[in-house]
Amino acid sequence: MPASDPTPASGRSSASDHAPASDGCLVQAPGLSWFEIFRLGLVQTALGAIVVLTTSTINRVMVVEMAMPAMLPGALVGLHYALQILRPRWGHHSDVKGRRSPWILLGMAVLASGGWLAALATSMLDTQQGLGIMLATLAFSMIGLGVGASGTSLLALLAKSVSPKRRPAAATIVWVMMIMGFVLTAATAGHFLDPYSNERLVKVSGVVSLIAFALSVIALYGLESKHHAKGFLAYQPKSRAQVPESRSAEDARFWLALRSVWAETASQRFTIFVFISMLAYSAQDLILEPFAGAVFAMTPGQSTQLAGMQHGGVLIGMIFVALIGTWRRSGQSMKSMRRWTVGGCAASALALLSLTAASMHAGSWPLQLSVIGLGIANGVFAVAAIGSMMTLAGEGQHNQEGLRMGLWGAAQAIAFGLGGFLGTMASDIAQWLVADPSKAYAWVFAIQSMLFVLSAWMAIRVPAPEGLELSDESQDSTIRPSTPPLKMERRLEPPREQLNHASIG
């Protein structure tokens, strides 16, 4: 359907009528309560519980216990991130269709199944290596599809159903709860994994997956239905009788919307920042547990608990920044979030340099303190970036929150995929060149430190959107004062070329 078509089939409405959109798009309303935001956070907790076992514990078991090359788990994790390049499409679909709970639950079901299959595949590497690798490839593909579908739909639901005043705080809450899923699962699973056996790994993974999916079902039960009754998530009945767009027209609308978002200066630079910073983060994430096992001779349970310490540090850093109010939506807080982002990246670089020193002094270095410090620094830059993300997601053309979140999610996924593979490959190459694992890991951590320095520089270059200097009261209105040229007259119409930079500073 052409972007200029004024018919109601696209579900567009003016900014002043506040009527429900015909395709299920959200409209202005009080939005989700704090308790309902907490319920969505439980889904993130469940997601994090499954992910931490696959990216940390199973990764370590493949490298240390199974004596596989580090590139194997790196490639598998890279595959699961590569599939998340579909996030912008899912986000755009969420913008147009509205209903998100079914997609979240479907994604969680696929994720939980993939998580258990990944553990089963790992247990087969001892006796049936070829079959185990094939099953692991399938499992990590399912993990990628599940994380992408559930995560993008959840973030789109947050961006559209949470009132503008609460969006940054809501993003912080659900992200902190995901980190809590990391921490609780790492600590609990680490306890039950010792002494290690393949059977224990499969059982622990199965229990975690079942609990995570059940928690997601309970958290989402009745949430969207309740607000459909209230109206701000409702559909217009006439939409069922309208002729749907052809696939080619839908594709054309998606690519036009994606090009318009990418053309915005702030959106483009923020995407690049997300890519570089997540590349730096993921490169160290996948080699931390193998590093602890190879250099510090830690058991699988001990290294899993070490990963839990890192995620606990992330939690501390995020809560610290959130408590001092850097998520508040004002021009000054946007500048403050940028400062915290830059500071967090710089601190992460220093923490990685401390791990470089730890590699050379394994007998005396307080590894736990370095890991916790790295986690705190990561949490500081992450929560500031999340606050910026939720603010920027609402800028420009209305009803593109899902597409924007999908774009940044895809940048993160691609960076994580490349970072995980390149980090593990660098570890293998460094150990082949220098033979000493301590020196090899020292070089890898030093390179990752340089990436965080580059991330800090890129964060400085992300412009604050114009109009955010306005008071909080003025920001509570349905149409943001910062974007008067757009007028928000057509909710699904991709912005025309001359409007691409209307709200970008």
Q: What is the mean pLDDT of residues 163-176?
A: 75
In this structure, are residues 460 and 338 in contact, taking their beta carbons and an 8 Å threshold?
Answer: yes
Q: What is the pLDDT of residue 223?
A: 85
pLDDT value of position 168: 64
Q: How far is CA 128 from the centre of its chain?
A: 34
How far is the CA of 284 from the CAs of 32, 312, 451, 482, in angstroms?
36, 16, 11, 39
Please write the tens of the pLDDT for every residue from 198-221.
Answer: 999 999 999 999 999 999 999 998
- Which residues, 6 or more positions from 42, have their beta carbon under 8 angstroms from its beta carbon? 177, 215, 216, 218, 219
Weakest mean pLDDT among 101-110, 131-140, 324-333, 360-369:
324-333
Side-chain-facing half-sphere of 377: CA atoms under 13 Å:
26
> Would you state the pLDDT for residue 195?
85
pLDDT, tens digit (0-9, with 9 covering 90-100), for 10-19:
333 333 333 3
* Mean pLDDT in residue range 422-435: 75
pLDDT at 8 over 70: no
pLDDT band at 3 (very low <50, low <70, confident <90, very high): very low
Is pLDDT of 424 > 80?
no
368-422 per-position pLDDT tens digit: 899 999 999 998 888 888 877 777 776 655 567 778 888 888 888 888 778 777 7
pLDDT tier at 489, thresholds 50, 70, 90: very low
Write down the pLDDT at residue 337: 74
DSSP state of 110: H
Q: Is the pLDDT of residue 131 over 70?
A: yes
pLDDT at 161: 78
Most confident of 51-60, 67-76, 256-265, 372-381: 372-381
Q: What is the pLDDT of residues 65-115, one digit of tens each?
A: 888 887 888 788 878 888 888 888 877 777 776 677 888 998 999 999 999
Q: Which residues contact 231 (CB under 8 A, 6 or more apart)?
A: 20, 27, 29
What share of the chain has pLDDT > 70, as a percent? Answer: 76
CATH superfamily membership of 31-222+262-479: MFS general substrate transporter like domains (1.20.1250.20)
Please give the pLDDT value at position 396.
54
Name the most confidently modeled range: 43-52, 89-98, 259-268, 391-400. 43-52
Q: Which of 321, 313, 310, 320 is nearest to 284 (CA)?
A: 310
pLDDT at residue 499 is higher than 50 = no
Of residues 392 and 143, more confidence is placed in: 143
pLDDT at residue 126 is higher than 60: yes
pLDDT at 449 over 50: yes
Average model confidence (pLDDT) for the chain? 76
Percentage of the chain surpassing pLDDT 90? 21
User: 325 falls in which pLDDT band (50, 70, 90)?
Assistant: low
Residue 39, pLDDT score: 94
Q: What is the pLDDT of residue 242?
A: 47
Sketch the domain layout of the chain as residue ranges.
Answer: 31-222+262-479
User: Which residues, 6 or more positions from 45, have their beta carbon under 8 angstroms from its beta carbon?
Assistant: 177, 178, 180, 181, 184, 215
- Contact between 306 and 292 (Cβ < 8 Å): yes
| pTM of the complete model | 0.69
Q: Greater confidence, 326 or 50?
A: 50
Least confident of 174-178, 266-270, 323-327, 405-409: 323-327
User: Taking residues 253-264, what's their average pLDDT?
Assistant: 81
More confident residue, 484 or 345: 345
Please tell me the number of Cα atoms within 13 Å of 151 on its side-chain side.
28
Q: For residue 228, what pLDDT is reported?
A: 55
| pLDDT at residue 385, rounded to an integer | 83
Residue 246 banded pLDDT, cuts 50, 70, 90:
low
The pLDDT assigned to 275 comes to 92
Highest mean pLDDT, choosing among 8-12, 309-313, 469-473: 309-313
